[in-house]
Structure formats: structure tokens, C-alpha cells
RNA sequence: GGCCCCUUCAUCUAAUGGUUAGGAUACGGCCCUUUCAAGGCCGCGAUACGGGUUCGAAUCCCGUAGGGGUCACCA
């Protein structure tokens, strides 16, 4: 049996909650949950210039939305807090002083101007080693004192070993070998007294009892630094497991311009959290029996860190789209009703956010481009419909449920409800007579069909929906045949009259949901329009 | 460019040295059908390349190529 793992995710509150944070959270939490350990959230807010005020709350909400709530964190009381680095400053200062005292770090008075110039020269010379040249590493005690006395500001840099190799184990890759001489003396403490990520991470992971650092591959280059930092403090290093990076379609690291990265985007587009979570677990992991749709609990039954596939997976929105549709269809109608109502409320009063994107800002990838355009239109439709829909729903709570079975197998995202929902709440259609002329249906035939359908509806008993459906279906077929038409073309104008569109949920069912009066009204409206 | 990582269908992936290289998405076709879907069936489609090791390699080793990450007082 494995020992309980204490793991963490450590995002910085610099913007929208990132899909990569969710991805890392999922695998970290899975390790904690399969070993009886804990998954912590630590906020890495040591960069004051990039700090975004409500970002932290967003991160927490997004994780909760995905049901990946941490066991400990700023919002969940835990034994090793605070879980916000800005509240742990003395610990970092103390750690830096310890290294300073032991001669494992040094004060560096180089200005950012000198550093910039240095970098420029190195680049111009095509120098192999680009980075800090270690100038202040050789400063004598007196020189340091003099500079301090003169009020020169300084950073604290770590003395990296300069000879030999630095070998570090990666859980997936085995031993990773780095040349010490190529490493640089990283900054541990900035001029403003805040630690850099490197120092804070080591201090906190140690203090918080972190056993496994499961993080993205992009951290591998700083692995030797982190390892040496642990060594300098005399602490046992955690297990490092570098997960692959989520990728854009062109295989580059997932980025805003090429792929939605904000978890808020997925929520706003109407993806279900459990579907997104499921999809994310498919990135680098697969179930033994080829199962692709599974709950978190099922995932845990098979989860093993060593089963993770390390090749960088491309985030395929199209597959998520399919998976989300599967989840929507698997929902109980009452549950889907609930989600839909919540979703519509979420969009309410937000029309302005969903204005069309100018051509040049649209993503270039075809599927995403189309989806994003439609998504904005749909969001606007629902946002506008929301007030009257909610009023109608609150007046008559039984309104929504019968609609669900008609629309759910046509949806892949909650947002796609916008394509089918409006007709149930409004009969103000913008059709023209031309819209009634369709394939294999002339204007005259359309008029006749509408009139015929009016009679059919009139004589149906809507109080017995099943019988009414059967009867309307039967008589429609008979009437169509009598008119020498196929059923499809015969129903075309009727569909336009009832739904205002050539594409809609099944007609008879829709009419039954609308009720006899409304159905007749709509038929009359259409007949009047064509007169 | 230096360093490091990665490499099975277009995409996500399976295959503990022996499989007709399997599944899913997407795509194409057929069926179902009241439009659109959903669903069912069928099809298309991969071990990057070159050397080894081995009776036998997608699998182990070496090289090449390609892709990616990273080179901040950001994380």
C-alpha cells in the first residue's frame, strides 16, 4: 500500500482560472484520493505587479465547479496555513537569511539595467550561456557592507554548484542530468523583499509536507535549481512528476489565442463540469477497458500515476463537444432542467459580453472559429430571452420539463439550447412568405398544408397527448398523400408556422407542449401572413 | 542558438518482445426518420526515418529527423 500523498496545486492569481490548473488539480487530487492523502491549494501571489484581485476567488470557484475542491487551502481551513504566500513572507525571509548565513546564497547589487545590457551582449555574441554572470558572487564582505551602507538595493541569489552534474529523478522520465556549470544563480528574494517562486515553493512544499510535486513539464528546466535548493536546506526533496503540457492544435503550449484556456469560457459556453473533468482525465490517461466516459469515482479505481502517458496531448475541443453531448443526454430530464435554468440565469444581463468578435480576433482553427461565433450568438439569444423565460418559469414551474426530451438529443452544450428554446417562449417570428416555400412545396401547397393542419389540430384532443399525437400523425400522413405530397414537404410550412424555423424539435411533440390554443394561434398567424 | 523533454491513425489513446496494431473523436457511406439531431451498421486511417540486439521489435539500444519546453527581481 502506498503512503498517503500530500500534493498541491499552486496557481498564481493573475487572471482567469486556467484549464491547465484544472488539469493539474485533477491528477494531483487523484493521487491524494487514491492514497488517502490530501490535496492542497496554495495561492502563489508573490508577484505584486501581476496580481488580479478576484482571481483567487475565481480559482477556488472554478475548482469547486469541477468538483475538485481542495482538502486544504485559503478557503478550507487546514493545519499548515496560511495557504497564501503573501501571508508567509517572514518564512521566506528567514529561509533566505539562513542560506546567506551559511554562505549558500549571496546579495546581488546588480541593477536591472546591467542585467539587461548583459543579456543583450550575450545574445549579440551568440553566447552559449545566456544569464547572470555571477558578478556579485565574488563580492567581499566589506564590499557588500559598503554597498548596503550606501543604500544600494539588492536581491538574494542562490549559489548554484559550478562543477559536475546535477542529477534529479523525475517520476516518469527517470534520472534527468543537468550540467552544473550551465545553471545560473537564480534570484531567491527580490528587491521588494518578496520571494521568487523558487524559494517560496521549496519553503512551502517542505513546510506543508508535500510528498509529490505533480506539475507541468515546463518546470523541468528549473528542476536542478529546486533540487539544489532542497539540498542546501538539508531537506528531503519530494517526488517530482512532470506532466505533459496541454497543447494547441499546432502542438504549441495551450494558449488563449489558439484555444480557450479560461475555465469561465467553458462554463459560459455550457460545458458540464463533469464532462470537462472527464475530458481532462483523458489527456494522458486511459482506462483499461477502453472506457471513455466515466465518473471521478471510476477514474480513481483505475488511476495510477505510472499509467500517465507523457506525450503532449492536443486539446481537441471537438471531442470535448461530443463528450459533453453524451453527458447532457445521460442527465435525468429534471437534472438537465435544473442545469439549464442555472445556465440561463448565469447568462442573464450579460448580452454585451457576447458581442460578435471582429474578424481578426476570431480564432483561425475552423471548428473553434465556428463554435465561438455561434456561441456568442447563442449566448445573446439566451441572455435576451432570460428575463421572460424566468418569469414564465416561475409562474409555471411545469413549463420546462416537457421541453427537455425534445431538445436534449440535439444539444452538445447547454448553450445550444438557444437554437431550440425561444420558440417555446415567444411566437414573434420574423419569417416572410418566402420562408414557407420550401423544397417540394410551393406557396399554394404551403397555404393548403397550413389550412389542413389547422383542421387536424382543431379536431385533436390535446388532453390526451398520446392519442392526439397518434391521431395527428395519422391524419397528417393521409392528408399529405391526398395532396400528392410527401410528409416532409407537407410539414415544412407547418414547422415554419409553429417554430419559426426550418429546423426544430419534432413538430407534433412541440405542438403538444405549446398547447392547442397557442398552436392554432400560430397557424392562424402564418395563414394570415400568406394571405 | 544552448540546455532539456517528447514521438502509434488528422486528434485522444490501447497493445507487460510474438495482435489481421484495438477503441474513441473527426471524416465518408448506408440504415432509421417529420426538419435538425440522436442512434445502429460499414468504411477510411498510424507504429517518423536509419541502423543494431533478437528466432521474432511499435515495444530494448544507438543515431538522424521532426515537434515542444525553457533560457526574468513571472509563475
Among candidate residues A159, A256, A516, A521, the one labeled active-site is: A256
- Which pLDDT does position A1 carry in this prediction? 52
Contacts made by residues A491-494, CB under 8 angstroms, sequence distance 24+ = A491/A449, A492/A436, A492/A438, A492/A439, A492/A441, A492/A446, A492/A449, A493/A436, A493/A438, A493/A441, A493/A445, A493/A446, A493/A447, A493/A449, A493/A450, A493/A526, A494/A449, A494/A450, A494/A453, A494/A523
Gap between the Cα atoms of A40 and A29, Å rounded: 8
Instruction: Determine how β-strand A165-170 pairs with β-strand A155-158.
Output: unpaired
The torsion angle over the Cα atoms of residues A288, A169, A210 and A27, rounded to 10 degrees, is -20
Which nucleotide's C1' atom has the smallest distance to the CA of A187?
B73
Give the residue-averaged pLDDT of A72-76. Answer: 96
CA A324 to chain centre: 13
Average pLDDT of chain A, as a whole number? 94
Give the residue-averaged pLDDT of A497-525. Answer: 95
CA-to-C1' distance for A478 and B39, Å?
28
CA-to-C1' distance for A287 and B58, Å?
20
Give the residue-averaged pLDDT of A238-255. Answer: 97
CA-to-C1' distance for A370 and B26, Å?
15
Burial of A351 (0-12, 13-18, 19+ CB in 10 A): middle
* A47 CB contact with strand B at below 7 Å: yes
pLDDT exceeds cutoff 80 at A494: yes
A462, A512 in Cβ contact below 8 A? yes
- Chain A residues 67 to 106 whose Cβ lies within 7 Å of strand B are none
CA-to-C1' distance for A410 and B42, Å?
24
Q: What percent of chain A has pLDDT over 90?
A: 89
* A10 CB contact with strand B at below 7 Å: yes
> Could you tell me if residue A143 is left (phi over 0), alpha (psi between -120 and 50 degrees) or otherwise beta?
alpha
Reference A107, options A149, A156, A159; nearest CA is A156
Q: Which residue gives the smallest C-alpha to C1' distance to B74?
A: A47
Instruction: Find and list the nucleotides of strand B having atoms within 7 Å of a protein beta carbon.
Output: 1-8, 11-14, 22-26, 34-39, 67-75
Chain position carrying cell 418559469: A393
A337: phi then psi, degrees, rounded to nearest 5: -55, -45
- Which pLDDT does position A471 carry in this prediction? 93
Which nucleotide's C1' atom has the smallest distance to the CA of A292?
B24
* A120 CB contact with strand B at below 7 Å: no
Give pLDDT tens digits for A22-62: 999 999 999 999 999 999 999 999 999 999 999 999 999 99
- Which pLDDT does position A245 carry in this prediction? 97
Gap between the Cα atoms of A459 and A76, Å rounded: 63
DSSP annotation of A242 reads E
DSSP annotation of A357 reads P
Gap between the Cα atoms of A525 and A209, Å rounded: 71
Give the residue-averaged pLDDT of A159-176. Answer: 94
Q: Between A366-395 and A317-330, two packed helices, what is the crossing angle to 10 degrees?
A: 30
Give pLDDT tens digits for A356-387: 999 889 999 999 999 999 999 999 999 999 99
CA-to-C1' distance for A171 and B63, Å?
26
Give the residue-averaged pLDDT of A441-452. Answer: 88
A301: phi then psi, degrees, rounded to nearest 5: -60, -30
Beta carbons within 8 Å of A317's beta carbon, 6+ residues apart = A259, A260, A367, A368, A371
pLDDT exceeds cutoff 90 at A118: no
Secondary structure of A424-444 as H, E, C letters? HCCCCCCCCHHHHCECCECHH
* A155-158 sheet: strands from edge to edge: A105-108, A155-158, A187-189
Entry field: residues in chain A: 531
A263, A19 in Cβ contact below 8 A? yes
- Which pLDDT does position A130 carry in this prediction? 77
pLDDT exceeds cutoff 70 at A220: yes
Return the higher-pLDDT residue of A81 and A320: A320
* A455 CB contact with strand B at below 7 Å: no
Give pLDDT tens digits for A448-488: 999 999 999 999 999 999 999 999 999 999 999 998 889 99
- Which pLDDT does position A128 carry in this prediction? 75
* A393 CB contact with strand B at below 7 Å: no
Beta carbons within 8 Å of A26's beta carbon, 6+ residues apart = A66, A68, A277, A280, A281
Confidence tier at A440 by pLDDT (50, 70, 90): confident
* A313 CB contact with strand B at below 7 Å: yes
Q: Three-class SS of residue A373?
A: helix
- Which pLDDT does position A442 carry in this prediction? 82
Catalytic status, residue A256: yes
Q: What percent of chain A has pLDDT over 70?
A: 100
Reference A410, options A526, A501, A523, A497; nearest CA is A501
ipTM: 0.96
H or E stretch covering A378: helix A366-395
Give pLDDT tens digits for A290-309: 999 999 999 999 999 999 99
Gap between the Cα atoms of A20 and A468, Å rounded: 52
- Which pLDDT does position A438 carry in this prediction? 82
Which residues does residue A176 pair with via DSSP β-bridges, in sequence order? Answer: A168
Which nucleotide's C1' atom has the smallest distance to the CA of A155?
B73
CA A314 to chain centre: 14
Alpha helices (H) in A178-295, listed in sequence order? 197-207, 223-233, 263-269, 273-282
Q: What is the pTM of this model?
A: 0.95
* A509 CB contact with strand B at below 7 Å: yes
CA A347 to chain centre: 17
Confidence tier at A422 by pLDDT (50, 70, 90): very high
Reference A60, options A34, A79, A40, A33; nearest CA is A40
- Which pLDDT does position A120 carry in this prediction? 86
CA-to-C1' distance for A265 and B20, Å?
45
CA-to-C1' distance for A173 and B60, Å?
16
Amino acid at each position: 500500500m502506498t503512503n498517503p500523498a500530500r500534493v498541491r496545486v499552486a496557481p498564481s492569481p493573475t487572471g482567469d482560472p486556467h484549464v491547465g490548473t484544472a488539469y493539474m488539480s485533477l491528477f494531483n487530487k487523484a493521487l491524494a484520493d487514491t492514497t488517502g492523502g490530501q490535496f492542497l491549494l496554495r495561492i502563489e501571489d508573490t508577484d505584486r505587479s501581476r496580481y488580479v484581485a478576484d482571481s483567487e476567488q475565481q480559482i477556488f470557484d472554478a475548482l469547486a465547479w469541477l468538483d475538485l475542491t481542495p482538502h486544504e487551502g485559503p478557503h478550507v481551513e487546514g493545519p499548515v496555513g496560511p495557504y497564501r504566500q503573501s501571508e508567509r513572507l517572514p518564512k521566506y525571509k528567514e529561509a533566505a537569511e539562513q542560506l546567506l548565513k551559511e554562505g549558500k546564497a549571496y546579495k546581488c547589487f546588480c541593477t536591472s539595467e546591467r542585467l539587461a545590457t548583459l543579456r543583450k551582449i550575450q545574445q549579440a555574441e551568440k553566447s552559449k550561456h545566456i544569464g547572470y554572470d555571477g558578478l556579485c558572487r565574488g563580492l567581499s564582505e566589506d564590499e557588500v557592507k559598503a554597498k548596503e551602507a550606501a543604500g544600494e538595493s539588492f536581491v538574494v541569489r542562490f549559489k548554484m554548484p559550478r562543477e559536475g552534474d546535477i542529477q534529479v529523478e523525475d517520476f516518469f522520465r527517470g534520472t534527468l542530468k543537468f550540467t552544473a556549470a550551465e545553471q545560473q544563480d537564480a534570484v531567491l528574494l527580490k528587491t521588494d523583499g518578496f520571494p521568487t517562486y523558487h524559494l517560496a515553493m521549496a519553503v512551502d512544499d517542505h513546510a506543508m509536507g508535500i510528498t509529490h510535486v505533480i506539475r507541468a513539464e515546463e518546470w523541468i528546466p528549473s528542476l536542478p535549481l529546486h533540487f539544489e535548493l532542497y539540498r542546501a536546506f538539508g531537506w528531503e526533496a519530494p517526488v517530482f512528476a512532470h506532466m505533459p503540457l496541454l497543447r494547441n492544435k499546432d502542438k504549441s503550449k495551450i494558449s488563449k489565442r489558439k484555444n480557450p484556456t479560461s475555465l469561465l469560457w467553458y462554463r459560459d459556453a455550457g460545458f458540464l463540469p463533469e464532462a470537462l473533468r472527464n475530458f481532462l482525465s483523458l489527456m494522458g490517461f486511459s482506462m483499461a477497458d477502453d472506457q471513455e466516459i466515466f465518473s471521478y469515482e471510476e477514474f480513481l479505481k483505475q488511476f495510477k500515476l505510472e499509467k500517465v502517458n507523457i506525450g503532449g496531448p492536443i486539446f481537441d475541443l471537438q471531442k470535448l463537444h461530443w463528450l459533453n453531448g453524451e453527458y447532457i443526454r445521460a442527465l435525468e430530464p429534471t437534472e438537465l432542467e435544473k442545469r439549464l435554468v442555472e445556465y440561463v440565469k448565469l447568462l442573464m444581463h450579460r448580452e454585451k459580453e457576447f458581442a460578435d468578435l471582429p474578424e481578426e480576433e476570431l480564432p483561425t482553427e475552423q471548428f473553434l472559429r465556428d463554435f465561438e461565433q455561434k456561441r456568442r450568438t447563442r449566448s445573446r439569444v439566451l441572455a435576451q430571452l432570460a428575463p421572460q423565460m424566468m418569469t414564465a418559469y416561475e409562474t409555471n414551474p411545469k413549463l420546462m420539463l416537457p421541453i427537455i426530451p425534445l431538445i436534449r438529443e440535439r444539444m452538445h452544450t447547454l448553450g445550444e439550447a438557444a437554437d431550440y428554446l425561444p420558440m417555446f417562449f415567444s411566437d414573434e417570428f420574423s419569417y416572410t412568405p418566402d420562408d414557407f416555400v420550401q423544397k417540394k412545396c410551393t406557396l399554394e401547397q404551403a397555404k393548403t398544408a397550413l389550412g389542413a393542419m389547422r383542421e387536424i389540430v382543431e379536431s385533436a384532443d390535446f388532453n390526451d397527448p398520446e392519442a392526439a399525437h397518434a391521431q395527428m400523425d395519422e391524419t397528417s400522413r393521409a392528408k399529405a398523400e391526398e395532396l400528392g405530397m410527401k410528409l416532409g414537404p407537407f410539414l415544412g410550412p407547418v414547422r415554419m408556422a409553429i417554430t419559426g424555423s426550418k429546423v426544430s424539435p419534432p413538430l407534433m411533440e412541440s405542438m403538444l407542449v405549446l398547447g392547442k390554443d397557442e398552436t392554432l394561434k400560430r397557424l392562424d398567424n402564418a395563414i394570415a401572413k400568406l394571405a
